Amino acid sequence: MLAVPLNDPTDHPDHLVHPDQRGQPPVPPTAAPPAHDLAGLGRVALATTPAEFAAYWRAGGLRGGDLQIYNWYSSLFRQASVYPSGRPDGVRVPVADLGIIAPIHRVHRSESSEGVVTKFTQVVQTFADGSPPLEIESVLIPMIGRNSIRKYTLCVSSQVGCAMGCGFCQTAQMGLIRSLSVAEIVGQWFAARHLIEHPDPEAPIANIVFMGMGEPLDNFDNVVQAIAVLTDRRAANVAMRHITVSTVGRAAEIDRLAERVRQPGWHRLGLAVSLNAPTDAVRSSIMPINKAIPMAALRRPMEQWPFFGGAHLCLEYVLIPGVNDTAEHAEQLAAYVQGADYDGLAEPRYPGVALTGLVNVIPYNPRDNSPWPAPTEEQVVAFMAVLTARRVPNKRRRTKGRDTMAACGQLGNPTHTRRSLKASPVEVTVLGR
Ligand code: SAH
């Protein structure tokens, strides 16, 4: 189905420039973008902001005023098809046929109290030797907002697999296969917006969370550039305050992201840190990263996170029965968040500033072959009650999509591991378009 292999070397914007012209001053414009350049232009557009796109357009010697260039750029994000000429007087070309959006491979739908949850996978890379294709997963989650208006949150992947090795997470079972390009990250939004069929095509994708496969801060530059494209009003036009980057807790990269957040336009980017445990002993047992960056070290970048009006920090806490779910764990967690002493603790304490964060309790969704069950309703309520009694702001994440393995931490194809990647064939069922 693909005309052009994804990840082909022409993913680099330089391919827009004729080889003879690279490094030369731009030639005077002569022709409108020829149709056969659509795929090239589209690939560049998905990876660039409008100003960068305009620069490539001109460097390629393509004709057009600012308005035409920006219209062409915008149209790629607005519709499922584009006009080759940039003017709505020709034949529309479906973007899905240009080979720039990884094709949808599987679509699973499940009902939730707020609407249909859609999990879809896209093939980002195929192999000539018959090895299984690389797939990424995204989930479109409905929410009923104010005035009963339905909106969607899109959960995107930043990598194929993940290197972090968290014991409770499905994706971790795969290991890291590779990081995604900017276009592959933005392409998930495009697929969710224009390619999958969902019952509510008009409902906006109001939020994007980097909580799919992968550790976004291990793919820092591409994630940041993808956010620049996703938030541009001429591109996907998602509000910065409605984008959240979720991290395992890489302190140095949180600092780097904070630098970005200090820049105009970025102030309200959301940060979520997967704490998942109240003490180093528990955290190290389920999250290997904690041995390198223990909880005291992780606390500093959170204390220093730049809060502009409306910015938010979220502490994610996957509640796993028998691991981190006792009343004492909740007390210890409250002490960590508040920078308070806790009498029952032999662990190091965290005197100082309280974290300005909301604890997001996520009931554990059992991964394949999980040694732990999901928590019961009573266990979740009891844990949250302790936090509330300690005046720690907390919220529960409603579990949607668990039955289709579309819920948090359930993304990842069990047949894809570093070991099996070259060996086991993956059945290909195309349910989407
Ligand atoms: N690597 C990033 C983003 C991906 S995981 C991170 O660690 O934050 C997104 C969220 O899902 C994290 O908070 C993670 O702790 C949580 N999660 C992972 N596996 C889970 C599972 N099996 N059940 C519930 N939540 C899970």
pLDDT tens for the chain, residues 1 to 433: 223 333 333 333 444 433 333 344 333 333 444 444 788 889 999 999 999 999 888 887 777 788 888 988 999 999 888 877 655 566 788 888 889 999 999 999 988 888 899 999 999 999 999 889 999 999 999 998 888 889 999 999 999 999 999 999 999 999 999 999 999 999 999 999 999 987 787 888 999 999 999 999 999 999 999 999 999 999 999 999 999 999 999 999 999 999 999 999 999 999 999 999 999 999 999 999 999 999 999 999 999 999 887 667 999 999 999 999 999 999 999 999 988 766 555 454 665 678 888 999 999 999 989 999 999 999 999 999 999 999 999 999 876 655 555 665 565 654 454 433 332 232 222 222 2
CA distance 359 to 427: 39
* Confidence (pLDDT) at 309: 76
Q: Give distance in angstroms: CA of 358 to centre of ligand 1.
A: 16
pLDDT, position 377: 95
SS3 content of the chain, % helix, strand, coil (to 5): 35, 20, 45
Give the side-chain half-sphere CA count within 13 A for 76: 31
Nearest to 338 by CA among 280, 270, 391, 293: 391
Walk me through the domains of the chain, giving residue ranges and CATH numbers.
2-99 (no CATH), 104-423 (3.20.20.70)
CA 115 to chain centre: 21
Contact 216, 273 (CB under 8 A): no
Helix/strand/coil for 188: helix
Ligand 1 centre to CA of 56 (Å) is 38
Pocket test for ligand 1, best of 185, 246, 320 (most atoms within 8 A of CB): 246
Rounded Cα gap, residues 200 and 189, in angstroms:
15
Residue 155 a catalytic site member? no
pLDDT of residue 249: 97
**Which of 321, 316, 344 is CA-nearest to residue 332?**
344
At 53, list the tokens.
């796109």
Looking at the DSSP bridge assignments, the partners of residue 271 are 245, 313
Q: Around Cβ 212, how many Cβ atoms within 10 Å? A: 27
pLDDT, residue 22, reads 36
User: Which three-class secondary structure state does DSSP give residue 254?
Assistant: helix
Q: Catalytic residue at 408?
A: yes
The span from the first CA to the last CA of the chain, in angstroms, equals: 11
pLDDT score of 343: 54
Model pLDDT, residue 341: 66
pLDDT value for 4: 30
180: left (phi over 0), alpha (psi -120 to 50) or beta: beta
Annotated catalytic residue, options 135, 137, 184, 253:
137
- The tokens describing 349, both together, are 């304490």
* Ligand 1, atom nearest to 276 Cα: 15
CA of 128 to the centre of ligand 1 (A): 33
